[in-house]
Amino acid sequence: MKFGVIIFPGSNCDHDAFWTVEQVIKQPVTFLWHESHDLENCDAIIVPGGFAYGDYLRTGAIAKFSPVMESVRKFADDGGLVLGICNGFQILCESGLLPGALMRNAGLKYVCKPVYVRVENADTPFTNSSRKGEVLSIPIGHMEGNYFCDEQTLADLQREDRIIFRYSTPAGEITAEANPNGSLDNIAGICSRGRNVLGMMPHPERASESVLGCSDGVKIFESMIHAGVLTAR
């Protein structure tokens, strides 16, 4: 399964994602330049964390106009797997691939620490290696991770089981204290209606090997491989 990792001016987690794919899950991977339309026959696209275009105007506002995102939108419309991590989540929302927006954290401070997220839906290409209700430890590092959407969109996400991760306690309780950024309904990650596009604020690539202190994040990448194998069949 071939992965593509997009590089924008200001990306700073692209090499981390590349390392995880190449060295940890042992899959072919290539970098994709933001000015190119060519996705190089990739089977899955990673929109990494960082500060695309310096986060000018607002996070993801300029990145959505890049040539590569035009191709990513077409790729996603055709059912291709797209994973947006942190800034990548913000870009996917700005690009219309996911609903809602990521606002400044409650408290207006940058938050960088390990958090716990509960898997709300294990029947997706990104979570099939987990079980529903499982709690994963994955770090965050963001200033604008406060997910928000209108009431109708939230109702749609809840009804369609598209809230994939919620911030929780280690025991899996969804509490205000477990929410690191004020995100609506403790949302840490959501998916598209087709289940093939996932945006999440925690960084699974930073929790993909035991040497990093936790390897829970590798389950997201392993799930993508498993989904790719099933699709190939």
What local confidence, expressed as pLDDT, does residue 57 receive?
Answer: 81
What local confidence, expressed as pLDDT, does residue 232 receive?
Answer: 53
- CATH number of the domain encompassing residue 26: 3.40.50.880
Backbone angles phi, psi at 90, to 5 degrees: -60, -40
Backbone angles phi, psi at 115, to 5 degrees: -135, 170
Which single residue is written with the structure tokens 């060519």? 38
- Residue 12: which domain range? 3-232
Q: What is the mean pLDDT of each run of 10 residues along the chain (233 residues)?
A: 96 96 98 97 97 88 95 98 98 98 96 98 98 98 97 98 98 98 98 98 97 96 86 53
Backbone Cα Rg of the chain: 16
Answer yes or no: 37 catalytic. Answer: no
Q: Which of 94, 120, 144, 205 is catalytic?
A: 205
Residue 94 DSSP SS3: helix
- Tally of domains within the chain: 1
What local confidence, expressed as pLDDT, does residue 56 receive?
Answer: 84
Total-model pTM? 0.96
C-alpha 224/C-alpha 99 separation (Å) is 22
Answer yes or no: 151 catalytic. Answer: no
Q: Which of 42, 86, 93, 149 is catalytic?
A: 86
